[in-house]
Amino acid sequence: MQWHHTVLHAKPPEKGTPFPMHQDYPFYPHDGPDFVDCLLHLDDTPLESGALMVVPGSHKQGPLEHVLGPETAPHLPPAQYHPDRLDSIAVPAERGDMIFFSYQAIHWSDCNRTDSWRKSVRFGYHSTALRPVGRAEDNPHRIDRDNVLERNNNIVVAGFRDNEMEPAAS
């Protein structure tokens, strides 16, 4: 298991915009599906605060082509991938809950309509066999699947064995 990233997500109260349907794959493209996101909730996250919404079984579609708006992160084309067109499951959570999902799962979140912040930390982990995939030169969020990077510069999560001071071999 290899640690890839850690991201703090914070939605202010009664502000913000929805995050459209997307996969996390375009943000961290790798040459296989063995990549999981772990969302640790630092606050209670009821539906009204913009809880995670997931399209069931969508990870089976593999990586999908995403688009960029003038001021938006990569997201799926709204004409095809919209909450009104695809069924989603809400994943409300309590403080301390952890949610695991594939980075190929289609997910989104709505605005925070409460009077409290909604904070969570997302950790990404993947198989040590995965390698980053190159990005197209004309668009950093369009994947060039023919350009797999030779070098993997991520950090391997190594633990310690019981009663040993040296890290376990990775």
pLDDT at 46 over 50: yes
Query: Mind listing the pLDDT tens digit for each residue in 112-159?
Result: 999 999 999 999 999 999 888 865 555 454 555 555 444 444 444 444
Query: Mind listing the pLDDT tens digit for each residue in 74-85?
Result: 899 999 999 989
Instruction: Give the H/E segment covering residue 140.
Output: strand 139-148
Closest listed residue to residue 8, CA positions, set 126, 123, 154, 96: 123
pLDDT at 14 over 70: yes
What is the residue-averaged pLDDT of the chain?
82
Can you say whether the dihedral through the CA atoms of 98, 29, 34, 156 is positive or negative? Answer: negative
Domains of the chain: 2-156 (2.60.120.620)
DSSP single-letter state for residue 169: P
Q: What is the pTM of this model?
A: 0.78
Please state the separation of Cα 50 from the chain's center in Å. 15
pLDDT at 23 over 70: yes
